[in-house]
Chains A and B, each alone.
Chain A
Amino acid sequence: MTKWEAVIGLEVHVELKTNTKIFCNCSTEFGGDPNTHVCPVCLGLPGTLPVLNKKVVEYAVKAGLALNCEIASYSKFDRKNYYYPDLPKNYQVSQFDLPIAKGGYLDIEVGGETKRIGIHHMHMEEDAGKLVHQGTIMASPYTLVDYNRGGMPLVEIVSEPDMRSAEEARAYVEKLRSVIQYTGVSDCKMQEGSLRCDANVSVRPVGTTKLGTKTEIKNMNSFKALQRAVEYEIERQIEVLEDGGKIVQETRTWDEAKGITISMRSKEEAQDYRYFPDPDLVPVVIDEQWVKELRDGLPELPDSRKARYVEQYSLPAYDASVLTAIKEMSDFFEEVLDYFPQPKVVSNWIMGDLSGLLNANQQELTDSPITAKQFAELLKLIDQGTISGKIAKTVLEEMVATGKEPATIVKEKGLVQISDEGELTKIIEEIIANNPKSVEDYRNGKTAAIGFLVGQTMKATKGKANPGLVNKLLKEKLQ
């Protein structure tokens, strides 16, 4: 039992999926040649003024509601003043003391236990541009600035320091992503930076309540990296403290290749951002009726969907939570049921083979050509005994790769199951003749030996033999 306890709080930036930037009409499309999605406003040219995109407020309210927050009827934008070359105005328009949403929570599940993580607040802000260095930042002879990202709409979701392990931190961000994705306000792609997360980590002796000195970790580009970085940092801090050292308040960066956190800059002297209300923007006044409409318009969120799956489809809680974690997956599941109403079978195939295949290809469900109807057709082919489960895996692979109908694939490749007793009997007799040792083992009571003979039969038929029939016929012959 460790004598240290970790305290973790997360700041998650989510990029909202609006068509235009937060304060101008520039495109928010990802990519594009450097400095092509820019205009005088997002470049901060002198004389330009920001005008708030109403869609950003709508999306922020939706996200806030989904995170169980209270939506502020009156909030405002402030300027956060600091110098950085990727920041066109050298202040970031953000929200300070009056954010759009406050006081929410998310329930996470870790080790079979449900835990509630508090959300302190969520605020809206503009993103900065991107610096492009040649080689490493220190050795680069020059730095280029791409302002395409400047002015992209963000919400920052600040959790309470309620997490106690790297696993909880990961579960929180995964749940957060799931909920936000459900609302449709962001695609939350960590690899494209539309979900970015900073972790504040400190440790303290178990049983104490005073917070230890924290460090902030940045630059984690995947859930795995988040978990590893936090794990590493907790261990590092414990080691420093056990060696009689002191934790320095600082910002650290996660080095994925080395698997360590590295000091970026000291925060001993707190940065003075000189926040003050942005005089170029009027306060954000939100009508209660509008919030109600947005609340009513929210889709079913993962928690209630999960509960419904257990209730309506009698699925195990585990299946229900895996299926509902990603909205597309969940929607797909329900659509497949329309054509093939056997929830547990569908669930097994989605969670098992389909997910495995997509993961192996590093594909999202939405990237693959497979439709719910096609998937249901495949399951029907198994159900009808046209193909075996094993053959189905091969067919599925082909479907994901080409988007062809399962029946077409089966036909083209001649994969129809052999259920003809006469044909199978001939093959089985041959197998029995060629494997006297196994036959003898079986007859001497080693019933497991039949498995080998089944395997040989399947091999001889290239997997097309109906396995149930093979078993039955083999047992008859060996009597």
Chain B
Amino acid sequence: MSLNQMTAHQLHQLMVNKEVSAEEITTAVYKRIDAVEEKVKSFITLTKEQALETARNVDKQIAAGEKLSPLAGIPVAVKDNICITGVSTTCASKMLADYVPPFDATVIEKLNAVGAVMVGKTNMDEFAMGSSTETSTMHTTYNPWDTDRVPGGSSGGSAAAVAADQCIVALGTDTGGSIRQPAAFCGVVGIKPTYGAVSRYGAVPYASSLDQIGPLTKDVTDGALMLNAICGHDHRDSTSAQYDVPDYTKYLENNVQGLKIGIPKEYMAAGLGANVRQVIEGAVATLANLGAEVEEVSLPHIKYALPAYYLIATAEASSNLARFDGVGFGYRDTDADDILQMFIKSRSEGFGEEVKRRIMLGTYALSAGFYDAYYLKALKVRTLIKQDFDQVFEKYDLILSPTTPTPAFKVGENIDDPIKMYLQDIFTSSVNLAGVPSICLPCGFVDGLPVGMQLIGKPFGEGTMLRAAYTFEQNTEFHRQRPAL
């Protein structure tokens, strides 16, 4: 096994034992990037020099006999909507093609503090709007399992980079499933933490009340290590929760005895591909055999989750993206005759089709006369969905569901059919509306393509979620399979 194929916890052990240096790991990762990037196209920007410098600093620490943080010297790929000082942050948009932020996102500060190595910025759907990474203005990313297929989205570049061993771990953002859906398509572990568990400071917002930064990793243990590093209150984010962050590795226990898991019947109904259903049922059986108590539950309002999600997300997006007007930063049309034309032209030329579609949807949903019928109604639905989850969680520790209705689809297959594309988020968006945490992990294959299972936890119940995921992983081999690139 080459270094870049390993997990963070394996590499940490090697570094602690002085069997390998951080620089060697980083070099291995860039070697892999050189080898497969042409086929996968996970990255927008690479930061090799800085990465090697960080790695060398970690090696100095090792040489000095300092205690090593679990993520020190570990190569991390960062979704291109998370700000790193001095590194371009494009959001895969022409609008921000030349934008270089003067500050670090809080998650970057935290990862820097533990000596993690930033290898580069990954491709994504433009402004995180999409489910296939095809709306990126930069280029399309391909699924490492089948390069005719999409990696999912919007954190498709991060998921593909982890799956293709171009990095060890990655950061993504999840607004309606944007970490979990690509994790499912690429056969990696993706975690959407509880809303407020991870600071959003420095993540270019799509929909503020739904967005959450989370990790994409090769296994559950690395997911726990990443949560340890990035969770916690941040005084720069008002929506950041004040809570005691536990050591999530403490939950990595091979035991689901007595865990009560609910399977929402609405999610297993028609609409779910038969082959995916089969895989999920197999996973449920595995957990049951390991001692979990599995029962069917109901989330009666879940059928309204997707429309409510698309109303709330686009409404917030229409406002969040208003700052891209050609005045302060980003793309500006220079031919306009007056200020209004400059706004209009800059935005018409700077944004892609999907972004414009969502801005218009959101503007409409918030406009006078429609606010009550759409936005306000969606907020009410959101409350009902939250109550559905609360109710189930009174009796159950976790909810299990498929992550996506199908495995990865082909490039171009859905791009001209927005509604079909939006249906990709059908099992994931309710989690963001409710603000609860959820993990996606590989649970089987259909025609050689990975299938993901989603475990949803109580608010700040990441620990229980990790425990169940870890147990499943320890008793199955799906996460060990690598794509043949």
Contact = CB atoms under 8 A, between A and B. Distances in A.
Interface in B83-121: 83, 89, 91, 96, 99, 101-103, 105
Given A44-B328, A90-B322, A51 B235 contact: yes
Contact of A274 (B203, B329, B368): B368
A276 B101 contact: no
Nearest to B196: A282
A47 interface: yes
A276 B207 CA distance: 13
Interface string A307-327: 000000000000000000000
B336 to A, nearest CB: 12
B323 A90 contact: yes
Contacts of B375: 276
Interface stretch (A80-88, A360-368, A396-404): A80-88
B393 interface: no
A49 B323 contact: no
Contact of A46 (B96, B327, B343): B96
Contacts of B319: 79, 81, 91, 274, 276
B471 interface: no
Given A272-B367, A279-B209, A47 B101 contact: yes
B201 interface: yes
Contact of B323 (A46, A272, A280): A46
B171 to A, nearest CB: 13
Given A83-B322, A89-B323, A45 B101 contact: yes
A270 B371 CA distance: 16
A385 interface: no
B207 A49 contact: no
B363 interface: yes
Interface in A39-54: 40, 43-52
Interface centre among B81, B204, B319 (most CB of A within 10 A): B319
B366 interface: yes
Nearest to B99: A46
Interface string A269-286: 010101110011110000
Given A50-B238, A279-B209, 8 more contacts: A47-B201, A47-B204, A49-B201, A88-B328, A272-B367, A274-B363, A279-B239, A280-B238
Residue among B99, B238, B325, B371 with max Cβ neighbours from chain A (10 Å) = B238
B485 interface: no
A260 interface: no
A279 B207 contact: yes
B236 A276 contact: no
B453 interface: no
A270 B369 CA distance: 13
Q: Is the interface of B mostly helix, strand, loop or mixed?
A: loop
A46 B236 contact: no
Contacts of A143: 339
B238 A40 contact: no
A392 B99 CA distance: 68
B69 interface: no
Nearest to A81: B319
B315 A276 contact: yes
Nearest to B83: A47
A55 to B, nearest CB: 15
Nearest to A77: B238
B236 A51 contact: yes
Interface of A: 40, 43-52, 79, 81, 83, 85, 88-91, 143, 145, 270, 272, 274-276, 279-282
28 contacts: A40-B103, A43-B328, A45-B103, A46-B89, A46-B96, A47-B82, A47-B103, A47-B105, A48-B103, A48-B202, A49-B239, A51-B235, A51-B237, A52-B238, A81-B318, A81-B366, A83-B343, A89-B322, A89-B323, A90-B325, A143-B339, A145-B328, A270-B368, A274-B319, A276-B366, A279-B208, A280-B205, A280-B238
Contacts of A279: 207-209, 239, 316
B41 interface: no
A156 B32 CA distance: 59
Contact of B325 (A46, A83, A270, A282): A83
A14 B184 CA distance: 53
B322 A91 contact: yes
Interface string B196-214: 0000111111011100000
A45 B315 CA distance: 20
B344 to A, nearest CB: 10
A151 B239 CA distance: 19
4 closest residue pairs by CB, A with B: A90-B322, A279-B209, A279-B208, A274-B366
Contacts of A145: 327-328
A145 B324 CA distance: 16
Nearest to B362: A274
A46 B238 contact: no
A84 to B, nearest CB: 9
B172 to A, nearest CB: 15
A45 to B, nearest CB: 7
Interface string B353-384: 00000000001001110010001000000000
A372 B236 CA distance: 46
Contacts of A270: 368
B163 to A, nearest CB: 27
B96 A280 contact: no
Contacts of B367: 272, 274
A47 B339 contact: no
A264 to B, nearest CB: 16
Interface string B168-212: 000000000000000000000000000000001111110111000
A145 B202 CA distance: 24
> Which of A45, A51, A272, A281 has the largest number of chain B CB atoms within 10 A?
A45
Contacts of A281: 238-239
Nearest to A147: B328
B62 to A, nearest CB: 33
Contacts of B236: 49, 51
Nearest to B375: A276
A474 B353 CA distance: 100
A207 to B, nearest CB: 34
Nearest to A52: B238
A376 B194 CA distance: 67
A40 B102 contact: yes
B434 to A, nearest CB: 15
A47 B209 contact: no
Contacts of A88: 323, 328
A48 B103 CA distance: 9
Contacts of B371: 274, 276
A51 B343 CA distance: 28
Nearest to A90: B322
Contacts of B237: 49, 51
A49 B205 CA distance: 10
Contacts of A275: 366
